[in-house]
Amino acid sequence: MGRFLAIAATLSILVALGWAAAVGPWAWWVIGALVAAVIVLAIYDLTQKKHAILRNYPVVGHLRFLLESLRPELQ
């Protein structure tokens, strides 16, 4: 599973870099803003004390809370 995630992350980074190179100089600012947002979210998840799930498993934790918020509409 870890190897698959590493390959998927590498491919998505390469696609984003290719898109930015093809679109133009403003696209690098978009990628930089997305990377900065992910870094800020990761720092918040590691330092918060309310949810152990977000601290230990941030991606799965955010997915869980997203699906919990969608549950009433799906029912």
Residue 60: pLDDT above 70? yes
Tell me what the mean pLDDT of segment 10-31 comes to. Answer: 82
- Measured CA to CA, the distance from residue 12 to residue 16 in angstroms comes to 6
Q: Answer for the pair 47, 58: CB distance below 8 angstroms, yes or no.
A: no
- Measured CA to CA, the distance from residue 71 to residue 51 in angstroms comes to 20
- Terminal alpha carbon distance of the chain: 32
The pLDDT of residue 70: 87
Higher pLDDT, 63 or 9: 63
User: What's CA 48's distance to the chain center, in Å?
Assistant: 17
The pLDDT of residue 46: 79
Work out the angle between the directed axes of helices 25-47 and 2-23 (0-180°, nearest 10).
150
Residue 2: pLDDT above 70? no
The pLDDT of residue 64: 87
- Counting residues of the chain whose pLDDT is more than 90, the rounded percentage is 0
